[in-house]
Structures are given as C-alpha cells and as structure tokens.
Amino acid sequence: MTEMTIAYLIWLACALLFVVLGVIDLIHAGKGKPFGFYNISPPPKAETLTDVTAYNRAVGKLLVGAGVVFALIGLPLLFNGDNAALIVLVGVLGSIAWVIGMVLVYELGILKKYRKKR
C-alpha cells in the first residue's frame, strides 16, 4: 500500500463517520427531540421547529450526503504521481468548500424551512 492509499483510507473513515451519523439521525428521526448539527451549540428546541421529525430527517440526509461528497473529494489521493502537493491542495480546498456548503444548506435550507416564523 502506498502512502496515498493509506491517506485515502483514513479520509474515507472520516467520511464514513458522517454517513453513520446521518443514518443514525434518519433511524431515530421520529424521537421528537431535535438533533444538533453544530457540535459547539445545542440543537434548536423542539418548540421552535414546525416539524421535528422532518427536521431530523433533513439533517440526517445532509450528513449522509456530506459524507458521500467528502469521500469523493478525497478520491484524488488515490492518484499516485509527481503532483502529491497539488493533490493534497485539491483535497484541502475541496474540504473548505465542503464545510461552507454544508453550513449554507443547513442554515439557509433546513433551518429556514423548519424554524417557526416569529
């Protein structure tokens, strides 16, 4: 195994964590308790959401999709060649765009759709 293959396997393990969290959210979506998206702040209170089950499903789908996209972003690591620095740069820049995309989907899509209007 080359170093880049090992790097991708580690990358893939991180992506699978997102998929597993998303599947857990989807399985337990009907619990009536909102799941959090950010790890630094508590999830929204159930009273502030129009439909907790639909919100949890949306967060679960976001996490599963994010895990799949993250795995795809890391695919260039499998290409062994003289451009290792460029391959890593693509992964880093892709990861930055990935995080920004997830936050935008959550904030402008999921929260905007399921948060009660004041």
Predicted TM-score (pTM) of the model is: 0.89
Give the residue from 68, 86, 80 showing the smallest Cα distance to 14: 68
Q: 34: domain range?
A: 3-114
User: In which region does residue 32 sit, left (phi positive, over 0), alpha (psi from -120 to 50) or beta (all else)?
Assistant: left
Weakest-pLDDT range from 29-38, 90-99, 105-114: 29-38
pLDDT digits (tens, 9 = 90+) for 23-82: 999 999 988 899 988 888 889 999 999 999 999 999 999 999 999 999 999 998 887 667
Weakest-pLDDT range from 4-13, 79-88, 105-114: 79-88
Share of the chain above pLDDT 90, in %: 67
pLDDT digits (tens, 9 = 90+) for 17-38: 999 999 999 999 988 899 988 8
Q: Residues 6 or more apart from 27 whose CB is under 8 A from it?
A: none
* Domain count of the fold of the chain: 1
What pLDDT is attached to residue 96?
A: 96
